[in-house]
Chain A
């Protein structure tokens, strides 16, 4: 079955350490996205990528970095510069060009990051 996989589901990090969240999709989607969810704040866009080797900052990119070396993979690194990294992180993918019946995001199941 096609889908989008995020790992791990729960992650603990010490302050001052970088950590990388994995996101893999086998949907052949061109575009991939990283969102952050905090209580009462909805989904805020961190980074997105429409094609391999290209990505754009979202609304809250500071303290994060990404790479898009393969179509299937879009890992997110939470760096020590991110002041408040504890959150629920969601990865999504979509067909970026075609507005057919399947247009929209497919989300992963999320990663809960806790800084200790």
Chain B
């Protein structure tokens, strides 16, 4: 059973606008979350993280929001750039867990 879900397989956004990628999780024990970016035929690269003691973390154009009560997190990219076009995975882990659980990914296309 998928513990981390990304319900939008794809998203298209105009350059300069905001991209919002969503992620839902089912396990209330998850307390640490990551976003990864992946280009075709390459390994994912770390983008941004957030722990459950926060509800927001910002790094340049990237902001992650965490809503623990809704078991939902989102990644905001502002402004979106063509180089942001990639597949984005969210991942979650718990303090007692041994691994991260990954969503199925959202393919973002930023249109110039």
Chain A positions near chain B (C-beta within 8 angstroms): 4, 6, 9, 31, 33, 35, 40-43, 45, 48, 50, 56, 58, 88, 90, 92, 96, 99, 103-110, 112
Contacts and interface: CB of A to CB of B under 8 A. Distances in A.
Contacts of B51: 99
Give the interface size bracket for B toward A.
Answer: 20 to 34
A96 B98 contact: yes
Interface of A is mostly: strand
B16 interface: no
B43 A104 contact: no
B98 A48 contact: yes
Contacts of A4: 43
Interface of B is mostly: loop
Contacts of B85: none
10 nearest A-B residue pairs (beta carbon): A107-B43, A42-B104, A43-B102, A109-B43, A107-B44, A104-B34, A42-B102, A108-B43, A110-B43, A42-B105
Interface of B: 6, 9, 32, 34, 36, 41-46, 49, 51, 89, 91, 95, 98-100, 102-105
B49 A48 contact: no
Contacts of B46: 104-106
Contacts of A110: 41-43
Contacts of B36: 105, 107
